[in-house]
Copies of this chain bind each other. A is one copy, B any other.
Amino acid sequence: MNNSRFSIAIHILTLLHQEKGALVSSDYLAGSININPVLVRKELSNLAKAGLVTSKEGKNGGSYLAKAAEKITLDEVYKVVRQDYLLGQNKNTPNPQCPVGKQINGHLNTLYDKTEQVLIQSLATQTLADFSRLFD
């Protein structure tokens, strides 16, 4: 994940929490994050699917947290934005003629799975409320 989706998602959620349930527009969020509003709306859509935010369409619409910040752990956010293994896999398939090349992806995946579990467990110990408190 070399993209900034985790940062963006955390930023969105922090703002929504600070706004204490008020409807916040994607334009406002995009202005604080300093990215394109369309990206914000896409991420809001992902966060909504995961049950972290709710959006309301139409005039005076916007988004708010779908559950208490104390109940949102950071691993939930990670899972929303996760796409590839953290440590990055070779896109080319290694040489299947080579005894190492033939097996390495399997073994790397095992390692990556284990490592990711550790990361997730660490993120799971922190809530959005904890993070948001840093801004007070």
Q: Which residues of chain B have C-beta atoms less than 8 A from A135's C-beta?
A: 99-100, 103-104, 107
Docked Cα-Cα span, A89 to B8, in Å, equals 8
Report if A60 contacts B (CB, 8 A).
Answer: no
Q: How many residues of A contact B (CB 8 A)?
A: 50
**Taking the nearest CB of chain B, how far is it from the CB of A9, in angstroms?**
10
| B100 and A14 contacting across the interface, CB-CB below 8 Å | yes
- Closest-by-CB residue of B relative to A105 is B7
Interface residues of A in 54-86 (CB under 8 A from B): 74, 78, 84, 86
Q: Which residues of chain B have C-beta atoms less than 8 A from A108's C-beta?
A: 7, 10
Q: For the A-B complex with A1-B2, A34-B92 known, give 7 more contacts whose Cβ atoms are closer than 8 Å.
A: A11-B94, A11-B100, A32-B100, A32-B101, A35-B92, A115-B122, A118-B119
